[in-house]
Amino acid sequence: MFIAISQRLATQESYKELRQILALEWGHLFKSEFKGFLPLPLCFEIPFSSYESAIKACILSGGNDLSEFDESIENKMRDDYERQILKRCIELKMPVLAICRGAQFMAHFFGSTLKPCQNHIGSHLVRDIWGSEFRVNSFHRYAIANLGADLKCLALAQDKTTEAFKHKNLPFYALMWHIERENGLNDTRILNQFKHEILNFKGLQK
């Protein structure tokens, strides 16, 4: 069985070619944390609905900015495709895990407010709602200032911006750090909740 994963979009300037990119670290993460599942990279030219019968969950990966902040063709294409993913996953109640840029997009999709941020490059401490404090990696220029009404905060950065959240009624989870990189798995409580949702999701029949 597969877990779908969206990809970064980037233009290779030498060839003027638009490419989809997925970091190698995702393969290592799947081997260690998603045993029994294979990653299924999503192609932007194929509707998400064409994949849904083969997958049990979807990951919105990092990379790119939201088109709200940078109206490049790559950002617009990615926003459009990931909007399609979220709308369909809402209908199916399919588990979704959003990472970094994916978390920003999910937050924005559900009416949250984002703002430019400082000191979110490298690593920093976060505190979750269960009282644990741990260090996470950080590679984003925009932070979640206020969450939409349908979302619940699960962890805060020291500047009180949201570092992790979930949807109150859907199996949707989001982390502003990269679980596939160093300092990505210092606390796995939220990841384990997402994995539990995958096991509970029955999937679709072809």
Instruction: Please report which helix (H) or strand (E) contains residue 189, including its range.
Output: helix 189-200
Q: What is the Cα–Cα distance from 29 to 182, expressed in whole angstroms?
A: 11
pLDDT tens profile 148-202: 999 999 999 999 999 999 999 999 999 999 999 999 999 999 999 999 999 999 8
Residue 175 lies in a domain: yes
Task: Indicate whether 1 pLDDT > 60.
Answer: yes
| From 52, 74, 163, 180, active-site residue | 180
Burial class (CB in 10 A: 0-12, 13-18, 19+), 131: exposed
pLDDT tens profile 5-47: 999 999 988 888 999 999 999 999 999 999 999 999 999 999 9
The pLDDT of residue 7 is: 97
Task: Indicate whether 206 pLDDT > 90.
Answer: no
Active site residue 89: no
Residue 206 lies in a domain: no
Mean pLDDT lowest among 64-68, 125-129, 145-149: 64-68
Confidence of residue 137 (pLDDT cuts 50, 70, 90): very high
Active site residue 58: no
Residue 205 lies in a domain: no
Residue 157 · residue 182 · CB < 8 Å:
no
Q: What is the Cα–Cα distance from 38 to 172, expressed in whole angstroms?
A: 20
The pLDDT of residue 203 is: 79
pLDDT tens profile 75-130: 999 999 999 999 999 999 999 999 999 999 999 999 999 999 876 678 999 999 99
Instruction: Please report which helix (H) or strand (E) contains residue 162, including its range.
Output: strand 162-167
Total number of domains constituting the chain: 1
Cβ contacts of 52 within 8 Å, gap of 6 or more: 88, 92, 94, 204
| From 58, 89, 100, 117, active-site residue | 100
Residue range(s) defining the domain that contains residue 79: 2-200
The pLDDT of residue 187 is: 96
Placement of tokens 């796995």 in the chain? 188
| From 108, 120, 140, 178, active-site residue | 178
The pLDDT of residue 205 is: 56
The pLDDT of residue 120 is: 65
Q: What is the Cα–Cα distance from 107 to 85, expressed in whole angstroms?
A: 14
pTM above 0.85, yes or no: yes
The pLDDT of residue 118 is: 73
CATH number at residue 193: 3.40.50.880
Active site residue 178: yes
